[in-house]
Structure 1
Amino acid sequence: MGRSRGGLSTKNHAATEALGLPVRLIGSPGHRNDIALAHDLVDGFQAEAALPIRDTMPIICDRIVKARAKIGIPPKRNRKVQRDYNAELYKERNPIERFFNKLKQFRRVATRYDKLLNNFMGFIKLAAIAIWLK
């Protein structure tokens, strides 16, 4: 799971499969907290492992553990309860970042021509299809 900012007023959230190809894309207003849409991003997936982009979302990490999936990101050092994580899996966390970098290769995404979130997300989905087809 991850997010990338599209301009100053929106956030793009994505879930990818193991090779970094997008399987779910959600857009949200920039002022909205990431956790507000995190459940929508992960609901309905059954995976052997999950790599949230960071450990600032303990609710999502707990949900992943309850789904019996391996979690591949270490807990923050200041957490009172330290949970286990798969260190080898942690090394494989960059496909989501590579996906967002591929999205930014599309000029219309990088420069944020569309002012409305629906139009912008429409083009992001078209760009994601192009990434799938490459």
Structure 2
Amino acid sequence: MAVLADKGYDDNRTRSTIQGMGAEVVIPSRSCRKAPIDHDAFLYRARHAVENLFAKMKHFRSLATRYDKTTRNYAAMVAIACLVIWLRL
């Protein structure tokens, strides 16, 4: 398991918490860090695809404004939105 985050989450406390959970930390170092910490660049690039999916899902008005009152209906709408995005309809 890996936790992907942007440079805004690059601090020692966050890194130690993630490592304490047994996950790999994939956070690029800030430019002000004296000793940069390596990260898996391939995994970090995959984060971009996830961010794009969330951006596309916000085009669905009922998801962006959370019109559905129940968790079941909201989860169904998320599934429909992902399907439409995946099929590119």
Identity %: 25
Q: Taking structure 1 as reference, are residues 126 and 104 closer, same or farther at Cα in structure 2, changes over 3 Å only?
A: same
CA contact (8 A) 1:106 1:127 kept: no
- AA aligned opposite 1:50: V
With the length of structure 2 as denominator, give the TM-score of the two structures: 0.59
Q: How many residues align?
A: 80
CA RMSD of aligned residues (A): 3.0
Question: CA deviation digits over 1:76-126, x for unaligned, max 9?
Answer: 11124532211222221113212212321312344x375xxx94x957544
| Matched position secondary structure for 2:59 | coil
Distance (Å, rounded) in 2 between the aligned partners of 1:124 and 1:60: 30
Residue 74 (str. 1) matches residue 28 (str. 2)? yes
| Matched position secondary structure for 2:8 | coil
With the length of structure 1 as denominator, give the TM-score of the two structures: 0.44
Structure 2: gaps (5+ residues): 84-89
Distance (Å, rounded) in 1 between the aligned partners of 2:44 and 2:4: 7
Structure having the higher helix fraction is 2
Per the TM alignment, residue 67 of structure 1 is displaced from its structure 2 partner at its CA by 3.4
Distance (Å, rounded) in 1 between the aligned partners of 2:63 and 2:78: 11
Q: Choose the corresponding residue for 1:103, options 22, 45, 57.
A: 57
Distance (Å, rounded) in 1 between the aligned partners of 2:66 and 2:18: 36
Q: For residue 55 of structure 1, what is the aligned residue in structure 2?
A: 7
Larger of the two Rg values belongs to structure: 2
Q: Which runs of at least 4 in structure 1 moved beyond 3 Å after TM superposition?
A: 121-126
Higher relative contact order (CA 8 A, sep 6+): 1
Structure 1: gaps (5+ residues): 1-46
